[in-house]
Structure 1
């Protein structure tokens, strides 16, 4: 065709203008490879297929490719919708086909707006296509300006209200729901949940005290919202004549156990949750998917709807339905027998502090005698008693309140009564062939008897986690050959499952089989992992927030471990573990006076220095 460039199947001529990638180049020499000169005087050896001829030359120097004045727009209007060549287009627009006009023409084609194609096949776009492309380019340019303006606001920590949808992308990374953020990448930050957390606080999208950990762990953050059925009309043993006491921390919102004494028999009454939450019901599946209540310093997220607690919480109504375990112990603390009944009980709610002052009264002294014998029984069988510091962490009116939990005899009484019920129910179910999840724990690797804070710390670290198994086995930490969790069905799914099995047996129905128990426990255990991790990280979050808001804090740290140039310390006042840099040798159980130097809330770390 007349207007076509010659086809150079082998090599382009010397001094021709060629296109190398998107840049102009001059052919310097031709051999096995082609030597080309690029802008700036640089030369390069390339293959023939790596270049495309724009003009056969001669082009003596690239500096000759000076800007040209022509009529390329008029040429497009004339050629609209047709096809042409680089030579024809240059001659039409500039009245000449020279290396300079060829390059000026190709630059217009490369823009891709009015023309497109190759040097030998250039398409003049239709007006509709050009207008559409112009609109798209304008929109893209506006979006890029908007993006750059947004990044500038982020860098200045002053986002606009309309930036909230974009910041949701950063929030997803901060919550562990995605692995990358284009925004953090553009700002030059490493894409981690911690950095996303910092960015969201810096720009005010999250409050400085925001706790992301439950959601980041995958724990539910709202209560279940499901209808609750009416209580069935079961036949129940009336125990309302017995004084029953629900003993718990002040302000407890879900009282699910209470104690009575009847001669030599200690009654442990437990909220009859399985009466409303039947196996395979929607409520049961919801509880199974959650695993347990989520206890946070800022509040509780219940695994069951609040209406279940309102109806069944012991002492929340004048008379409460319960599943009651009547236990009789021998002189050595061993369990002699247990009765299990669906009951009515009349419960008074008391705090540990109140009961502590009344332990010698007739209402509580017999209970304490029985539970003391049972504790001695467990101790003789290897139970571990760890006197490690514990605290209550609460957020009250936006302020973090940390209160040490005193070692009360009333608390020990209730704990031992619940453990007694757990052993009694486990033995009853084993004797009756009722499949339940048994709570088991292997002995610790460190068998040293703990006598001080450091050895208690080491002993706790040596324990394996408690496991729920369909086959009975020993719980080493509790000193019990058989044990199950059966006293917290409002708060924990495994307890609810045990209650469902007991109610089926009491009603003469077939309980779930072992394989069904294993399946349900596996599902709830997976959910409980998120709950426990969310609780642990949330407690650490609020403790660090307390330290951040109290930069002048001074406190005691007890050395419980030693690492290279660091001491592992427990802070009793905060029930918190930390690592402190040391210059001098320290001994286990040594007391160090500490001060805060830096708190990194998103990173969940705190640095202390030793005073004196």
Structure 2
């Protein structure tokens, strides 16, 4: 009996979208009854005849006892039909046996095909398919168990490898996480951060921002050659030289000494060990600068370079020394640059601040004050916004305000004097270096209070490194280059390499080479600065989260609709709060912490009192 007809007869068994159906009437369209009891009108091509019937009810399709496995073994590798297979396996072709056979065909294991053409698969194919299905089932069960552990925040040891996918999303290395989406969360670095902390893969204080920014966190392990001078050094060890820095500083690369009316700025002679061509230079260029995080410091050079060249870390240190004289108006009258030997004592800003009325610090301050007055007259920025030091000590966040000490101003101006001298030295000799420049800010006006300083800061243009000398508006200097931190900044190291090549009678790098190196290092420095800024914000929020009862003072520095922009001096933190009563710029408000969202890097506050 043929099982394919143009129109299946009434009470026949047909297949509709992989479900059994009974034909109840035939006309322009075929009316069928589905297993749930509902009726549906369909086209002839929408169904496939399995048995011509009669089938009075789909409930008559009862399970069958037969020998389908024996039939498979007998027919292995051949082709058959639905009817022949049913008769071989069940000794009868009825709607129930036809449906039983088709269910096995639909499994797609031993049998595949259509009712009129069923392929009987070989044992090899069946066993391979069974193994693949078993593996898939095991994988699905494993995946389900993994998700259940994630929901319960009880990961197993073997889950660590899987969670690396979520970590890559948290670090911004990929855009989607199958795991996070399966848990019902949108794929975002913040959500990934929350998930990793929740299951204990990351600690609750974990700082992802340097890696998310693309910063290098591995320490640099490269051999450092012995110091072999190619130039004669001037012995300045008879001078009292002082490396003045923050307490605990680990990379002192500048020091001051006074020689009559001449101020010496000694800078670690890093270019003596890091030559313009070599692995050390390439690594320093790729990093751009030291990465200063509250929890650690990642140096752009191996620790051995700092150990050998850091001023005051050895009894006598090699330096590149800038001898400076300036007139009563703060103009540089005379400067020289010499390789030297210096003997350096290390002091903190706090210690020196208490000795500014004594020699030699009083004389140093008088020199730098004149220089500062000249810069101020030339429009140098005098913004005094709050600054803090954020450090993690033994797992605890310590936030310490940085007072505006005269000793810090002394050192800052001395370094700027050396930077101007280095720029002029290179200009006079046509040495290509990166000049630090800054265009004048938009608008004019004095900034004397926090609100005006906050607004004024937004008017400043970014500083740039250029091969042509241009003024640096923010510093109030006609020419300037960064030359006093070669242990910490690549651009300073490059300036030293160029100067040192000239002192040794070698050809310095040409403009194209300098430009290429500056561009690479500047891109790396952008990553470093962003990583540092976000990391400081992260640890400030950790501090607030760990002090949920925090209260303090915020100064209104801006007003946006019904929100006040506040600057919190104790934390050097900017925030926004809603207010009901009118507020004024520079008004001090008592505020309290509401909540902290560490992955989102935000904290909210409310006005109290």
Instruction: Identify whether the pair has TM-score above 0.5, normalized to the shorter chain.
Output: yes
The match for 1:477 is 474
In the TM superposition, 1:521-540 aligns within 5 A as: 521-540=518-537
Q: For 2:29 and 2:422, how far apart are their aligned partners in 1?
A: 89
Residues 448, 455 of structure 1: 8 Å contact kept: no
Deviation by residue 1:556-610 (Cα, 9 ceiling, x = unmatched): 1111111122111111111111111212211111101111110111111111111
1:221 aligns with 2:226: no
Residues 1:90 and 2:86 aligned together: yes
Change (3 A) 1:19 1:522: farther
3-state SS, counterpart of residue 161 of structure 1: coil
Residue of structure 2 aligned with 1:159, choices 155, 162, 181: 155
Aligned equivalent of 1:608: 605
- Is residue 2:588 matched to residue 1:591? yes
TM-score, normalising length: structure 1:
0.95
Match of residue 491 from structure 1: 488
Root mean square deviation, CA, Å? 1.9
The yes-or-no answer on 1:310 pairing with 2:307 is yes
Match of 1:250 in 2: 247
CA distance, structure 2, for counterparts of residue 496 and residue 48 of structure 1? 83
Distance in 2 (alpha carbons) for counterparts of 1:441 and 1:401: 34
Whether 1:431 and 2:411 are equivalent positions in the alignment is: no
Q: Secondary structure of 1:579's partner?
A: strand
Q: 1:95 to 1:593 in 2, by over 3 A?
A: same
Deviations 1:186-209 (A, max 9, x none): 110111111111111111111111
Where in structure 2 are the equivalents of 1:362-441 lying within 5 Å? 362-441=359-438
Structure 2 counterparts to residues 565-584 of structure 1, below 5 A:
565-584=562-581
Once the two structures are TM-superposed, the CA of residue 75 in structure 1 deviates from its matched residue by 1.6
Match of 1:269 in 2: 266
2:10 touches 2:23 (CA, 8 Å); kept in 1?
A: yes
* Distance in 2 between residues matched to 1:317 and 1:214, nearest whole Å: 32
Secondary structure of 1:412's counterpart equals helix
Partner SS, residue 317 of structure 1:
coil
Measure the CA separation in 2 of the matches of 1:310 and 1:43: 87
Alpha-carbon shift at residue 23 of structure 1 (Å): 2.4
**Using the alignment, how far apart are the partners of 1:371 and 1:288 within structure 2?**
32
Separation in 2, partners of 1:421, 1:14: 102
1:274-293 aligned at under 5 Å gives the runs 274-293=271-290
Q: What is the match of residue 114 of structure 1?
A: 110
Please state if 1:193 is matched with 2:163. Answer: no
CA distance in 1, matches of 2:26, 2:410: 98
1:26 Cα deviation after fit: 4.1
* Distance in structure 1 (CA, Å) of the matches to 2:532 and 2:256: 28
1:320 equivalent in structure 2:
317
**Structure 1 counterpart of 2:541:** 544
Alpha-carbon deviation of 1:52?
Answer: 3.3
Q: 1:384 and 1:110, CA in 2 relative to 1: closer, same or farther beyond 3 A?
A: same
Residue 551 of structure 1, CA deviation? 1.1
Q: Tell me, yes or no, if the aligned pair for 2:267 and 2:320 is still in contact at 8 Å.
A: yes
Q: Secondary structure at the match of 2:375?
A: helix
- C-alpha deviation, 1:152, in angstroms: 1.3
Question: 1-side partners of 2:133 and 2:561: how far apart?
Answer: 60
CA distance in 2, matches of 1:430, 1:441: 18
Aligned to 1:347: 344
Per mean C-alpha deviation after superposition, the further-off stretch among 87-96 and 294-303 is: 87-96
CA distance in 2, matches of 1:276, 1:505: 16
Shift of 1:20: 3.2
Which is worse superposed, 85-94 or 293-302?
85-94
Q: Distance in 1 between matches of 2:40 and 2:282?
A: 70
Shift of residue 324 of structure 1?
Answer: 1.0
Give the Cα separation in 2 of the matches to 1:296 and 1:530: 13
| Match runs of 1:65-76 below 5 Å | 65-76=61-72
Question: Does the CA contact (< 8 Å) of 2:83 and 2:93 recur in 1?
Answer: yes
Matched, 1:177 2:164: no
CA–CA separation in structure 2 for the residues paired with 1:382 and 1:315:
35
The equivalent residue for 2:446 is 449
Higher mean alpha-carbon deviation, 130-139 vs 279-288, is at 130-139
The worse-fitting range, judged by mean Cα deviation, of 22-31 and 334-343 is 22-31
Query: What number of residue pairs does the alignment pair up?
Result: 608
Task: Return 101-110 or 39-48, whichever deviates more.
Answer: 39-48
> What displacement does 1:63 show?
4.0
Equivalent-residue separation in structure 1 for 2:469 and 2:172 (angstroms): 38
The residue aligned with 1:203 is: 199
**Aligned-pair distance for 1:135?**
2.6
SS at the partner of 1:475? coil
Moved more, 72-81 or 554-563: 72-81
Contact 1:595 1:610 in 2 (8 A): yes
2:229–2:272 contact (8 Å) kept in structure 1:
no
Asked whether 1:80 is paired with 2:76, we answer: yes
Structure 2 distance, partners of 1:35, 1:467, is 79
Gaps of at least 5 residues in structure 2 are none
Give the C-alpha shift of residue 384 in structure 1: 0.8
**Which runs of no fewer than 5 residues in structure 1 stay unpaired?**
none
Q: Cα 1:70–1:596, aligned 2, differ >3 Å: closer, same or farther?
A: same
Contact preservation (8 Å) 1:446, 1:458: no
| Residue from 143, 148, 152 that aligns with 2:144 | 148
What is the CA distance between 1:70 and its match in structure 2?
A: 2.6
**Does the CA contact (< 8 Å) of 1:435 and 1:501 recur in 2?**
yes
Q: CA deviation at 1:347?
A: 0.8
Which residue does the alignment assign to 1:104? 100
Distance in 1 (CA, whole Å) between partners of 2:11 and 2:469 is: 91
Shift of 1:36: 4.7
Rounded Cα–Cα distance in structure 1 between residues aligned with 2:393 and 2:184: 38
